[in-house]
Amino acid sequence: MSGFDIHRIEREGVERWEHAFEADPVSGEKFYLNVAYPYPSGGMHVGHGRTYIIPDVLARFQRMKGRQVLFPMAFHVTGTPVIGISRRIAHGDEEAIGLYRDLYRVPQDVLDRFVDPMEIVGFFSQEYMRIMGRCGLSIDWRRRFTTIDPQYSRFIEWQYSHLHERGYVVRGAHPVKYCPQCENPVGDHDLLEGDRAEIIRFTLVMFRFRDALIPTATLRPETTYGVTNLWVDPGVTYVRIRIDGQEWIVSPEAAEKLALQDHEVFVLEQIPGSDLVDKTVTHPLSGEVPILPAAFVDPDMGTGIVMSVPAHAPFDYIALRDLQRQGRYTGLRPISLIAVEGYGEFPAVDAVERAGILDQNDPGMDALTQEVYSAEFSRGRLHERYGGKTVREARDEVAALMTEQYGSVVMYEFDTRPVICRCGSRVYLKILHDQWFLQYSDPLWKEEVHRQVAAMSLVPTEVRAEFDRTIDWLKDWACTRRVGLGTKLPWDPAWIIEPLSDSTIYMAYYTIAHRLREIPAENLTPEVFDYIFLGRGEPETLDRETLDELRQEFTYWYPYDYRFSAKDLISNHLTFQLFHHRAIFPGELQPGGMVVFGMGLLNGAKMSSSKGNVFLLEDALDEFGADTVRMFLVGSAEPWQDFDWRNELVSSTRKQIERFWNTVQEAMSAEGGQPIDTWLKSRLQRRIAATTAALEGFQTRQALQEAFFGIEADLKWYRRRLTEGSAGGAVLWDLSRVWIRLLAPIIPFTCEAAWREIGEEGLVSFAPWPVADEELIEPEIELAEDILARTVEDIESIMKLIQMEPASITLFIAPEWKRTIFSTVAASSDRTKVTREVMAIEGMRQRGREAADVVKQITRLVLKFPPQLVDQLRQSAIDEREVFEGAREFLEKEFGVPVRILDAEESRHAKASGALPFKPAIVIE
């Protein structure tokens, strides 16, 4: 008998498993599962732990079911994050250094080398491997790679050549957030402020002003028909610029922005806003209109000059009203062009007057503007003389007309401000040229992916709607970058393939990764990959034998069965990979299924490395042990639910594992037989079946409930039912052999040790999964125990109530005719008419009132019992008296007093008449 030494057990497990899970093709059935690989730029926390442990539990389960299981892992190192981190560390950024030194506890000498980004990924990928090993992950590490390995780059080049050939990669221009200080596009995570800012596309409506143009930015080009004037701020100094061969008048801020948006801009001269006031401009859709002064005009928004549609824009109306109240421009009248339900001829006028707005500085103006705009957009319609279309339709049409005929161009702006880069500089919008896009907008491609999603197994099923929605919503994706680590675009090497785009079909790469490592990258030509993955061509850089082996291994594993990932990747990665699989691989190699995980919380708050709200996985392993961590992560929630890590809950998990270990130890000395053994065996078969079903459905938490807590509960009743002095029969030994295997996927270290402890050969990790034996299921015996347990509960609750020292217990068994009523009630479909049904039975009527009362009581009893139990009771021939007689000794032991079993009808005791079938009357004296 050995003590439970968790450290020794874990050490031994890691050693014994070192090469155990290296999986090569065999003749049997395979199961290939994979997980979104990590980006090793920081420490692993318990949230990461769960992401890999749950798939591992399922991998281990499938392996014990006899399948050849492939569970690989690699490291994603492409992109810019580590470059940024190393730069910050090199610059002595205290925040970054603190994070790595204090939170992740990187040794100083290693930290010093972090000025090189490769050192960061090198260090952390080793750490990840080591910690994943400590977690007991059954990974085939031979297949590990990083996304900047030269062989992997050849693979990505092959993939992109195909995408390019098939027209899925196209060239275009693209607006991005851009920092002029860093001279780089910036992502949301690079921003100090404004990370929620969205890019808005404005149409510039070009008004002619003498020999120049005055562009005004609008989101509602269709309202140009209703323009009555322009607004300028007389206090602002505007500039005249030469731009793309024309001359425009705009604010200086606008000139700067336009210069980044695909225009060549030269500032010619300055023009005070006051000089523009009272001049006139013209536009084909509005005719000649004056320029008026207004204070609300923001030179940093759009072009700094605004077109005015007082009939439909509250700001325009109020500014006009302010002027007219001073007796100026009283001749100007709003021009109505949109009819919208709930408003009169001039919606903006109605809204402003209704809301009682005082002037253009009123704080309610923004909300009011929103109200009018959205009412017009959703329900508005242009008047007949302007075409009669809905606003929704007219907007795009007029915008197109403007661009084609009236010289309009597009200008981009952020919807919120300020937007500030980490470097402190203001962020602008820049049009990037010659950008390469993955054409996810292609309707045929989308359609194919929709069909794929429909054919896949998705867990949980609710995510299907989210996938379909993502497919519809995806637009073209800019798939190349100027900076960062990654593979160069094969036909345009000035670009690097972006990190999300180089990680879409690497699950195929795993199948041969360990073999490719031995082949010089230059030999991995596109022809080689064509041969391996598509089975065609005659490559010359590799010998035929190797090629055939590679092809065989690929086709053995592929397609993968399940991919696991957290749910935040649905809207990009998980959907992208489906697009790419459709584009590259034939129908029979498409993904089989996906399991989408919930998020991790720490003490109820969202886990986040950047906020320091994390619990490091290694600390958890040190403090609680690997199996405890595994069991907690598996047991706290189903995979797709959010889970919450709380230390105090974790420590109780540890005690549970020790309890299991002790039970197994004790069972080794069990011998002989006990009457209750059959019951335990029967229950065990049900636990096996339930655990198996739960794991087949990816319900790891449910599986643990059955396999651990369920069996424990059974054992508790079993021990209670043992005869005095017995520690249990040899059945406990059988139970241990099953129990260890049922828990092996979840707490493999403990189970591996226990398996050896009980004298079994080989690794439990490869032991056959238990199968429920129908022959051992004894419904009648389970039923009898059920009735007994209910009666014990009844006795206990009475004893508690009466608070007296009992001298004896008498059970009265209900007579046969009540059993007849029970069957009738149980079988009845309409319980409101059951009394009539019973009274129709021969002999019932003369029992009169008593029978009617009993029907009422039994109906209540039937409703209270589980429906399944009722069915069983109705159909079984169980002899109640025998059940209780058989348990008399047990009852006497339990309650420490003599127990009598009597027939109710043979007693005159007042309580005896209350006996019901399967619920004897109880008298305690």
Partner RNA sequence: GCGGGGGUUGCCGAGCCCGGUCAAAGGCGCAGGGCUUAGGACCCUGUCUCACAGGAGUUCGAGCGUUCGAAUCGCUCCCCCCGCACCA
Residues in region 451-470 near RNA by CB under 7 A: 462-463, 465-466, 469
Between 232 and 923, CB nearer to RNA: 923
Among 2, 797, 808, 876, binds RNA (CB under 7 A): 797
Between 353 and 925, CB nearer to RNA: 925
Between 250 and 921, CB nearer to RNA: 921
Binding segment for RNA among 165-173, 654-662, 675-683, 689-697 (CB under 7 A)? 654-662
**Interface with RNA: number of residues (CB under 7 A):** 87
Considering only CA atoms, which of 338, 330, 332 is closest in space to residue 230?
332
Between 96 and 474, CB nearer to RNA: 474
Question: At 922, which amino acid appears?
Answer: I
Residues 6+ apart with CB under 8 A from 904: 812, 813, 814, 815, 912, 913, 915, 920, 921
Question: At 616, which amino acid appears?
Answer: L
Binding mask 67-86 for RNA (x = CB under 7 A): ---------x-xxxx-----
Phi and psi angles of residue 810, each rounded to the nearest 5 degrees, phi first: -125, 130
Produce one character per residue of 535-548: b if its CB has 16 or more CB atoms within 10 Å, e if not.
Answer: eeeebeebeeeebe
Give yes or no for residue 779 binding RNA (CB under 7 A): no
Tell which positions 585-624 bind RNA, by CB under 7 A: 599, 604, 606
Between 626 and 921, CB nearer to RNA: 921
Tell which positions 902-921 bind RNA, by CB under 7 A: 911, 914, 919-921
Between 96 and 764, CB nearer to RNA: 96
Q: For the CB of residue 833, give the shortest distance to RNA in the complex, in Å.
A: 10
Measured in Å, how far apart are the chain's first and last C-alpha atoms? 47
Q: For the CB of residue 115, give the shortest distance to RNA in the complex, in Å.
A: 20
Tell which positions 166-185 bind RNA, by CB under 7 A: 174, 176-177, 185
How large is the C-alpha radius of gyration of the chain?
A: 38
Give yes or no for residue 45 binding RNA (CB under 7 A): no
Q: Based on the number of CB atoms within 10 Å of its own CB, is 403 exposed (0-12), middle (13-18) or buried (19 or more)?
A: middle
Tell which positions 704-723 bind RNA, by CB under 7 A: 705, 709, 716
Give yes or no for residue 289 binding RNA (CB under 7 A): no
Q: How far apart are CA 899 and CA 915, in angstroms?
A: 16
Strands laid side by side in the 457-459 sheet: 68-70, 30-35, 562-566, 593-597, 457-459
Q: How far apart are CA 734 and CA 667, in angstroms?
A: 9
Q: How far apart are CA 880 and CA 746, in angstroms?
A: 41
Among 477, 698, 769, 884, binds RNA (CB under 7 A): 477
Tell which positions 509-568 bind RNA, by CB under 7 A: 567-568
Please report where in the chains the tokens 């005249």 appear, as a residue: 240
Q: How far apart are CA 93 and CA 86, in angstroms?
A: 10
Structure tokens of 185? 């596009």
Give yes or no for residue 652 binding RNA (CB under 7 A): yes
Q: Based on the number of CB atoms within 10 Å of its own CB, is 798 exposed (0-12), middle (13-18) or buried (19 or more)?
A: middle
Binding segment for RNA among 94-102, 492-500, 515-523, 614-622 (CB under 7 A)? 492-500
Binding segment for RNA among 202-210, 620-628, 644-652, 722-730 (CB under 7 A)? 644-652
Q: For the CB of residue 9, give the shortest distance to RNA in the complex, in Å.
A: 18
Question: At 247, which amino acid appears?
Answer: E
Tell which positions 428-447 bind RNA, by CB under 7 A: 440
Between 319 and 602, CB nearer to RNA: 602
Between 35 and 213, CB nearer to RNA: 35
Q: For the CB of residue 274, give the shortest distance to RNA in the complex, in Å.
A: 39
CB 213 within 8 A of CB 248: yes
Among 637, 667, 767, 814, binds RNA (CB under 7 A): 637
DSSP string, 122-161: HHHHHHHHHHHHHTT----GGG--BTTSHHHHHHHHHHHH
Q: How far apart are CA 22 and CA 28, in angstroms?
A: 15
Q: How far apart are CA 347 and CA 380, in angstroms?
A: 10
Give yes or no for residue 642 binding RNA (CB under 7 A): yes
Half-sphere exposure of 152 (CA within 13 A, CB side): 28
Three-class secondary structure of residue 4 per DSSP: coil
Give yes or no for residue 798 binding RNA (CB under 7 A): yes
Binding segment for RNA among 382-390, 581-589, 788-796, 847-855 (CB under 7 A)? 788-796
Q: For the CB of residue 708, give the shortest distance to RNA in the complex, in Å.
A: 9
CB 791 within 8 A of CB 884: yes
Between 39 and 769, CB nearer to RNA: 39
DSSP string, 433-452: EEEEEE-TT-HHHHHHHHHH
Give yes or no for residue 189 binding RNA (CB under 7 A): yes
Binding segment for RNA among 48-56, 241-249, 633-641, 749-757 (CB under 7 A)? 633-641
> CA of 94: how far to CAs of 97, 111, 848, in Å?
5, 13, 90
Binding segment for RNA among 9-17, 543-551, 645-653, 882-890 (CB under 7 A)? 645-653
Q: For the CB of residue 534, give the shortest distance to RNA in the complex, in Å.
A: 27
Among 321, 515, 659, 874, binds RNA (CB under 7 A): 659
Q: How far apart are CA 713 and CA 711, in angstroms?
A: 5
Considering only CA atoms, which of 221, 218, 202, 208 is closest in space to residue 337?
221
Give yes or no for residue 396 binding RNA (CB under 7 A): no
Tell which positions 839-898 bind RNA, by CB under 7 A: 863-869
Q: How far apart are CA 464 and CA 467, in angstroms?
A: 5
Between 324 and 797, CB nearer to RNA: 797
Give yes or no for residue 7 binding RNA (CB under 7 A): no
Q: How far apart are CA 914 and CA 854, in angstroms?
A: 9
Q: How far apart are CA 579 and CA 440, in angstroms?
A: 8
Between 324 and 603, CB nearer to RNA: 603
Q: For the CB of residue 649, give the shortest distance to RNA in the complex, in Å.
A: 5
Between 335 and 924, CB nearer to RNA: 924
